[in-house]
Structure 1
Amino acid sequence: MTSISLTARPDQLLGIPNRITLVRTVAAMTVATVAFHTGELRWLLAGYAAYWIGDILDGAVARARGEESLSGAVLDVVCDRACAFLLAAAFMATFPSTIGPLAIYLVQFGVLDTMLTLSFLLWPWTLSPNYFYKVDRPIYLWNWSKPAKALNTAAVVISLVVAHQAGALWTLPYAVAIAACLVKVVSAYRLIEILCDRRPAAPALPEGVDPGPARK
């Protein structure tokens, strides 16, 4: 198991990946503010594009440069919530019919997903949720595998756009939002059982490697 230093270094907060995180956050939130004033769907979609593309880019750069860090992972989590909440608020202000599905989404993403995402800190040798498969593969697959991450936010937003364009089908966004919420509830329950030693973790590690105890 690779040893990870928990000592903070200036480059962890001032490195290029974190700069990208800050730039994409400012960009997405600025566009979301414009969407508040204009009430136009195109600005909302532009805001989500800045959020999602920037979120992919900062992680890719961090891995390519070998600059992943605990502080960078936490900064990414905080900035994701800032973008998601302001964009959702702009969506609800522009299209009041989206309030119901987005309220469910905000509970799921702002509370349950935040708790799950930050749980990697209980295992300090994991650098981010992207490596949670080393702790428990099912929770990782349900929440941070590439398909799961793509569906976590995008599925709700896309279903809202489809419903808006169709002028109906509002059951679709509700179904997507509730399904995402159920995934988080099941994941959180499994995590709690693992932490309480009621269920063994199922890490994707070479046979015989101990994932190590969580910091409780």
Structure 2
Amino acid sequence: MTAAAAADLSQARAAWLTAPNAITLVRTVAAIALALPALVQRSWPLLVAAYLCYWLGDILDGAVARWLCQETRVGAVFDIVADRACTSLCAAALVTLEPSMALPIGIFLAQFMVLDCGLSLTFLRWPLLSPNYFAQVHRAVYLWNWSPVAKAVNTGALVVLVLLAPSPAWPALFAVAVAAVKAISLVAVARLAPPPSR
């Protein structure tokens, strides 16, 4: 192995072996381990525990990354992919418990797994550590998608609506509105010129 290859391998290991990535891994495994039996057994307590592991772990891994100055692009992508794993299983369990809400949950899943995922990964076009710094590229897109309020609304508001709404109409309308914001954001980002090559 050449010295350059060894240095690249060492750098790759360093990017993966961080405390935030360990938290992301643990919270993802825990959420999945709780969501799967929640899905099979139709258990509200297990589903609530799965969502708590997912949401609290997602907050914690980002906070630790910033606190320890261990933010990496690898960690950001890992977090984005882990969010999809957690969300898909938690949403599937939620549908088994609230089958009348299958339409809004399906709309939400489609936008989160496709539109939001694609949008979240666009930060890789610029020299940014994660979508949390997208305000440097497009402030409005950042505010609509990755500001603390936008993150809370994007990941939690639909679950609250599904649990509280008397019919699927309001959650479905909300899910369509979020999908529209994601689509508009993707168009806005697609129109941005990438940074000049070095």
TM (norm. structure 2) is 0.90
Q: In the TM superposition, what whole-angstrom CA distance separates every residue of 1:28-52 from its partner, at most 9, and x where no partner exists?
A: 0111012112212222122111100
Q: Aligned residue for 1:134?
A: 136
Q: Aligned residue for 1:96?
A: 99
**Cα offset, 1:13, TM superposition:** 0.7
Q: Aligned residue for 1:173?
A: 171
Q: Aligned residue for 1:110?
A: 113
Contact kept? 1:17, 1:58, Cα under 8 Å: yes
Distance 1:213 1:82, change over 3 A: same
Q: 1:188 aligns with which of 178, 186, 189?
A: 186
Contact kept? 1:28, 1:50, Cα under 8 Å: yes
Aligned equivalents of 2:167, 2:88: Cα separation in 1: 24
**Cα offset, 1:8, TM superposition:** 3.5
Q: Aligned residue for 1:14?
A: 17
Number of aligned residues: 189
Aligned equivalents of 1:45, 1:131: Cα separation in 2: 31
Q: Gaps (5+ residues) in structure 1?
A: 196-211
Q: 1:213 aligns with which of 182, 188, 195?
A: 195
Contact kept? 1:160, 1:173, Cα under 8 Å: yes
Q: Aligned residue for 2:159?
A: 157
**Cα offset, 1:214, TM superposition:** 6.4
| Runs of 4+, deviation exceeding 6 Å | none
Q: Aligned residue for 2:150?
A: 148
Contact kept? 1:133, 1:139, Cα under 8 Å: yes
Aligned equivalents of 1:127, 1:56: Cα separation in 2: 17
Q: Aligned residue for 1:206?
A: none
TM (norm. structure 1) is 0.83
Equivalent positions of 1:9-48 (< 5 A) are 9-48=12-51
2:84 is aligned with 1:81: yes
Output the aligned Cα RMSD: 1.7
Q: Gaps (5+ residues) in structure 2?
A: 1-7
Q: Aligned residue for 2:52?
A: 49
Identical counterparts, % of pairs: 46
Aligned equivalents of 1:108, 1:134: Cα separation in 2: 24
Q: 1:65 aligns with which of 50, 64, 68?
A: 68
Contact kept? 1:139, 1:187, Cα under 8 Å: yes
